[in-house]
Structure 1
Amino acid sequence: MTSRLVVVHPDVDVLAEAAAARLLTRILDVQSVRRPVHVVLTGGTVGIRALAAAAASPLVAAVDWSGVHLWWGDERFLPTGDADRNETQARAAMIDALVTSAGLPEANVHPVAGPDTAGSPEESAAAYAAELAAQADDGAPVPAFDVLLLGMGPDGHVASLFPGHEALGATGATVGVHGSPKPPAERVSLTFDAINAAREVWVVAAGAEKAEQAAAALAGQPVAEVPASGVAGTDRTLWLLDTAASDAP
């Protein structure tokens, strides 16, 4: 049976450092029993700060990065190298250093295609679905992600699944998103089917502007109104919050 745990840290700095330590420890724990390890990264302020903290941790040297695959829960449909892409920010925070000096193979980094290599969000989503399936076991549509990181917006969105948006009902592994209420309008996202195939899902959120929606999600409000309420790992779901995000009025 899946379990849910809410962990509250005193501020965003401690949250980012703790999430980083937790992530590296999780990778090490999984590597002791199976390989490869599949990790889904998120963007956002706290997500990128956590990756930077992970890159600076001495635990990095203990991980066999040759056996780790990195994915993204969503991506803005922007050209490779654009500063607003989650991939670009994650490379600067952590991935480039791992590739250069920690033995992470570039082939194990799985970015979402942008308009420089895909003609539309749908084409990019289809290509990503194929890449996910190629790394999955036993014909599954996606790997059983060992940890899937998600940020949460002040509106309760996760990945690029926004309240009231048609993408909420998408099936399969991925979906092309148009008309996102948060720029840019075009994106690619994992679906709830793919997210909830993860062994562990971690929602990382900080700030008072997230508190109301975090409380609503934890209370099980409708997914159409609070998409974050619809995510759960098959083994465990973690909500990693700072005090401000946990203090709903």
Structure 2
Amino acid sequence: MSVSTWEFGFKTAYAYSSREETVAAVTAALFERTAQLCMSQSRVDIALTGGTDGIAVLSAAHSVMSRVRKSDADPLSHIIKAIDFSKVHFWWGDERFVPADDPDRNALQARTAWLDSLTAHHGLPEGNIHEMPADTRPKGLIEQCRNDPDANLKAMRAAASHYQDELGSQLGDKGHLDIALFGVGPDGHFASLFPDRPQIYNTDSGTLVLPVTDSPKMPPLRLTLTAQFIQTASCVWVVATGQRKAEAVGRALREANNGDVPSSFAQGAERTIWFLDRKSAVHLQKTAEARL
């Protein structure tokens, strides 16, 4: 596995030869860091992400653990066996505000990809899965409110408040996530923080969760962690693959806290890592060659 490395101040970027290698690297890092934290902490709090790259990581994690169950020969076997999943709590960086059974739900996709297997075979308590609230309104009412921003905002504010309260009560004095994993869109968004939308400019450090009523990407109703809260996480990891994301990746790594490129806000209190492939890192490679 070949990898190129770049440092951008507090951000480190690793670019692998292929998307498959990138996903494998994130998966291995997730297992390794979780095992380390399980040995030193009474609980481990991880925020998951949706999207093609995020779900690919969770699917890969499931595949690795399936192999480990059958054989100790896998190089990650001893690391995975050091993870006490009764200590691990899963959260989400953002969610689509749709009914719980809607296939667009990040949590539903994550359960199918990995979490259901953890609860069934690896000791993850169901209570350690902290989904963002779903839209529990009757379907008829949801349809009626489709063009009623005030009604939608009221329901979503209540949902955001509920998740903020859950974060506060669960994290307690610790007050932060250990690992927060995110993908990136071609427009540079991460979580549900979109370019030049008011959520990315939130400055209230006491607000952890915000409603999004006009997402430029469907579905329009979403919940998202704030950039301020994300930046309290010990480690923020971003995974981005493919040529379509190359420009956003280049800008986000070179800039900081630019509302035009929300993923430029992606930084952890201790460590920030970007996991890329050759295609998404193409602008970084060109810059490096120009310096020679």
Task: Please say whether Structure 1 and Structure 2 have the same fold, judged by a TM-score greater than 0.5.
Answer: yes
Residue equivalent to 1:148: 180
Structure 1 stretch displaced more, 59-68 or 15-24: 59-68
2:240 pairs with one of 205, 220, 233: 205
The correspondence of residues 8-157 of structure 1 with structure 2, limited to 5 A, is: 8-57=15-64, 58=68, 59=77, 60-116=80-136, 120-138=155-173, 143-157=175-189
Structure 1 residue ranges (4+ consecutive) displaced by more than 2 angstroms after TM superposition: 58-62
* Distance in structure 1 (CA, Å) of the matches to 2:56 and 2:229: 25
Superposed displacement of residue 237, structure 1? 0.2
1:15 CA displacement = 1.0
1:16 shift after superposition: 1.0
Deviates more, 1:199-208 or 1:116-125: 116-125
Measure the CA separation in 2 of the matches of 1:186 and 1:177.
Answer: 6
> Does 2:197 match 1:190?
no
Looking at structure 2, the residues matched to 98 and 48 of structure 1 have their Cα atoms a distance apart, in angstroms, of 15
Identity of aligned residues (%): 38
Amino acid aligned to 2:156: P
- Alpha-carbon distance change, 222 to 173 in structure 1, aligned in 2, over 3 angstroms: closer
Answer yes or no: is the 8 Å Cα contact 1:61–1:102 preserved in 2: no
In the aligned structure 2, how far is the partner of 1:31 from the partner of 1:41?
18
Range with bigger deviation, 50-59 or 183-192: 50-59
TM-score (structure 1 length as normaliser): 0.94
Distance 2:61 2:172 in 1: 28
1:165 corresponding residue in structure 2: 197
- The aligned length equals 245
CA offset digits 1:64-117 (Å, max 9, x no partner): 100000000000001112111100100000000000110000000000111116
Deviations 1:172-209 (A, max 9, x none): 10000011000111100000111001000001000001
| Paired AA for residue 88 in structure 1 | L
